[in-house]
C-alpha cells in the first residue's frame, strides 16, 4: 500500500511526496490505521524505522479534519520527549509534514528563556512538543492549559518512564482529560516499563516489529577488546581511516565527553561534544553542524543523543560500553537509519565485560568480535600522533580514567 492510497488529507500527502516517502514502513503501516480510529497504541520498533512519522501523519490528519477554530482554548495534542534535541526533531517533522495543513506546533524545553514560549502559547497552539521539566514549570505557573488535550504521545517511552519522571507523569495525568487517546512509542521496553505504560492507557493495541532482534539487520555491529587507557589510540585510528565519514561517539559521562574531545584535539582531530552541561544554543549549533556535515565527529552522552535522527551517520562508536542493554540498542541505532547501511563498533575493556554479557543476554546472541593481534594492538598505539612526551598530561588522564571506570556488578 502506498501513502497516496491512504485516506488522509491531500495536504499531508503532498508533503509526504515532497519528502519522497513512497511506501510506509512496517511500524507506519501497523500504527497509522488504529491511531486514525482513535485507539490507544503501545508501539515498539527498531530505531530508524520511521516511528516519528508513524504518529505525526495520523495526528495531523485527525486535527486537520476536526477543523480547529479556536486555538486559544488549549492544546489539542501533547507530545512528550526526554531530551531537547529529540523534542526539536519531532517538532520539525510536524512542521515538514503539516506545512499544507492548518495545524500548528510549538516545541518547549528548558535551557532557554521561557517568555517567548509563553507568548506563543498565548497565541494558541494545536500540537505542543515538550520536555518534562519545562512542561511542568509552565503548568505549575498556570501558563499552560492542558484540559483540552485529546491526544497524548510519549516518545522514547521507556526512557520517559524510567528517568524518575513517572511520578511527574502521573501528576500530569491529573491535568489531562480522562477521555483522551494515548500513544507510546519506543525502540525497547522491559516488563516494568510495560506495566507502567499499560496503567496509563485504555485497552491499548500493542504493535511490535522485529521483536527477535532489536538491532536492525542493516546495522553491522561488533565489539573489540581494548583496555581503558588505550581506547583513545583506537578511536584516533578509526577516525583517521574514515576521515570523510560522520562518526558518532558515545561515552559514559559529561566529563568523559570533554576529555575524549581534548584527546582527539591533541592528535589533530576536530570534534565536538553534546551533553547536558552545554548551553542550549551551543548544543543546537553543534547538532546543525553535524547534520550538515561541517562537523564529522560528535562525542555524546546517552541522555543527549537518545532518539535523535541524523542522516548519514556511517559509524557509531561505543567508546564506553553502555550501562544498560537497552541503551546499546538505541546507540547503535543512530546509524543505519531507514534503508541505509550502518556500522557500529564497541570498545570493551576488561572492566566492562559484565556490561557486554548483559547486552548479549538481551540480544539473545553474542556480538561478533573484531580480532586484534598483539602486534596490531601495539602498532596502533605506537603510530598514534599523541604527544607521549607530556607525561604530566598522561598521568592526569590515567587518574581520571581510574575514577570513571564502571563499577563491577556483584555476581549473585
| Calpha distance 250→348 (Å, rounded) | 13
SS3 315: strand
| Calpha distance 258→262 (Å, rounded) | 6
3-state secondary structure 70-113: CHHHCCCEEEECCCHHHHHHHHHHHHHHCCCCCCCEEEECCCCC
| Calpha distance 390→397 (Å, rounded) | 11
Highest mean pLDDT among 18-32, 177-191, 326-340, 374-388: 18-32
| Calpha distance 155→145 (Å, rounded) | 21
> Which pLDDT does position 296 carry in this prediction?
97
Would you tell me how many other CB atoms lie within 10 Å of the CB of residue 277?
A: 13
Looking at every residue in the chain, the average pLDDT score rounds to: 87
The residue whose grid cell reads 518547549 is 108
End-to-end CA distance of the chain: 51
Strand spans (E) along 319-392: 342-348, 368-370
Strands 272-274 and 297-300: parallel
pLDDT per position as a tens digit, 237-296: 999 999 999 999 999 999 999 999 999 999 999 999 999 888 888 988 999 999 999 999
Closest residue by Cα to residue 340 from 386, 304, 309, 298: 309
Contacts of 75 (CB under 8 A, 6+ apart): 125, 126, 127, 128, 144, 145, 146, 148, 149
Q: pLDDT above 90 covers what percent of the chain?
A: 57
List the domains of the chain with CATH numbers. Answer: 3-208 (3.40.50.300), 219-403 (3.40.50.300)
Which DSSP letter does residue 187 get? S
> Which pLDDT does position 225 carry in this prediction?
97
pLDDT per position as a tens digit, 288-345: 999 999 999 999 998 766 667 888 899 999 999 998 888 898 899 889 876 788 999 9
Confidence band for 391, pLDDT divided at 50, 70 and 90: very low
Share of the chain residues as helix, strand and coil, in percent rounded to the nearest 5: 45, 15, 40
pLDDT higher than 70, residue 408: no
> Which pLDDT does position 389 carry in this prediction?
47
The angle at the Cα of 202, spanning 200 to 205, to the nearest 5 degrees, equals 105
Model pTM? 0.75
Contacts of 20 (CB under 8 A, 6+ apart): none
| Calpha distance 158→141 (Å, rounded) | 28
Strands 272-274 and 205-208: unpaired
pLDDT per position as a tens digit, 366-388: 999 999 999 999 999 999 887 55
Q: Which of 90-94, 149-153, 171-175, 391-395 has the lowest mean pLDDT?
A: 391-395
Query: Cell for 229?
Result: 587507557
Contacts of 146 (CB under 8 A, 6+ apart): 74, 75, 78, 139, 172, 175, 176
Query: Cell for 232?
Result: 583513545
Please return the burial class of 81, using the count of CB atoms within 10 Å of its CB with bins 0-12, 13-18 and 19+: buried
| Calpha distance 261→236 (Å, rounded) | 11
| DSSP bridge partners of 250 | 300, 318
pLDDT per position as a tens digit, 147-167: 999 999 998 877 777 656 777
> Which pLDDT does position 412 carry in this prediction?
44
CB 32 within 8 A of CB 24: yes
Contacts of 403 (CB under 8 A, 6+ apart): none
Amino acid at each position: 500500500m502506498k501513502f497516496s492510497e491512504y485516506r488522509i488529507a491531500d495536504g499531508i500527502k503532498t508533503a509526504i511526496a515532497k519528502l519522497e516517502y513512497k511506501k510506509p514502513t512496517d511500524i507506519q503501516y501497523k500504527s497509522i490505521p488504529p491511531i486514525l480510529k482513535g485507539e490507544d497504541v503501545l508501539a515498539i520498533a527498531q530505531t530508524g524505522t520511521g516511528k516519528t512519522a508513524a504518529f505525526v501523519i495520523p495526528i495531523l490528519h485527525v486535527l486537520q479534519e476536526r477543523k480547529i477554530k479556536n486555538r486559544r482554548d488549549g492544546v489539542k495534542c501533547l507530545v512528550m520527549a526526554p531530551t531537547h534535541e529529540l523534542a526539536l526533531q519531532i517538532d520539525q517533522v510536524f512542521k515538514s509534514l503539516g506545512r499544507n495543513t492548518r495545524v500548528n506546533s510549538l516545541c518547549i524545553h528548558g535551557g532557554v528563556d521561557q517568555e517567548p514560549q509563553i507568548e506563543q502559547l498565548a497565541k494558541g497552539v494545536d500540537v505542543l512538543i515538550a520536555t518534562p521539566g519545562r512542561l511542568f514549570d509552565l503548568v505549575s505557573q498556570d501558563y499552560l492549559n492542558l484540559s483540552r488535550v485529546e491526544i497524548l504521545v510519549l516518545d522514547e517511552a521507556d526512557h520517559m518512564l524510567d528517568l524518575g519522571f513517572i511520578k511527574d507523569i502521573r501528576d500530569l495525568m491529573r491535568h489531562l482529560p480522562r477521555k483522551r487517546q494515548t500513544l507510546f512509542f519506543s525502540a525497547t521496553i522491559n516488563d516494568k516499563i510495560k506495566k507502567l505504560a499499560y496503567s496509563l492507557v485504555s485497552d491499548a493495541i500493542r504493535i511490535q516489529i522485529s521483536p527477535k532482534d532489536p538491532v536492525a539487520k542493516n546495522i553491522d555491529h561488533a565489539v573489540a577488546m581494548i583496555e581503558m587507557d588505550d581506547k583513545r589510540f583506537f578511536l584516533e585510528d578509526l577516525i583517521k581511516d574514515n576521515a570523510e565519514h560522520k562518526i558518532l561517539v558515545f561515552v559514559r559521562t559529561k566529563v568523559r565527553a570533554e576529555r575524549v574531545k581534548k584527546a582527539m584535539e591533541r592528535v589533530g582531530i576536530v570534534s565536538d561534544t553534546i551533553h547536558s552541561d552545554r548551553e542550549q544554543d551551543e548544543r543546537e549549533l553543534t547538532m546543525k553542524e553535524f547534520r550538515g556535515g561541517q562537523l564529522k565527529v560528535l562525542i555524546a552522552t546517552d541522555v543527549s543523543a537518545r532518539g535523535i535522527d541524523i542522516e548519514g551517520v556511517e559509524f557509531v562508536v561505543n567508546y564506553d560500553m553502555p550501562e544498560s542493554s537497552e541503551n546499546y540498542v538505541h546507540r547503535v541505532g543512530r546509524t543505519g537509519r531507514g534503508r541505509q547501511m550502518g556500522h557500529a563498533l564497541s570498545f570493551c575493556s576488561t572492566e566492562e565485560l559484565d556490561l557486554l554479557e548483559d547486552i548479549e543476554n538481551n540480544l539473545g546472541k553474542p556480538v561478533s568480535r573484531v580480532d586484534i593481534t598483539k602486534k596490531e594492538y601495539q602498532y596502533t598505539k605506537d603510530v598514534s600522533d599523541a604527544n607521549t612526551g607530556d607525561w604530566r598530561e598522561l598521568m592526569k588522564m590515567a587518574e581520571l580514567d581510574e575514577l570513571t571506570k564502571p563499577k563491577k556488578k556483584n555476581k549473585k
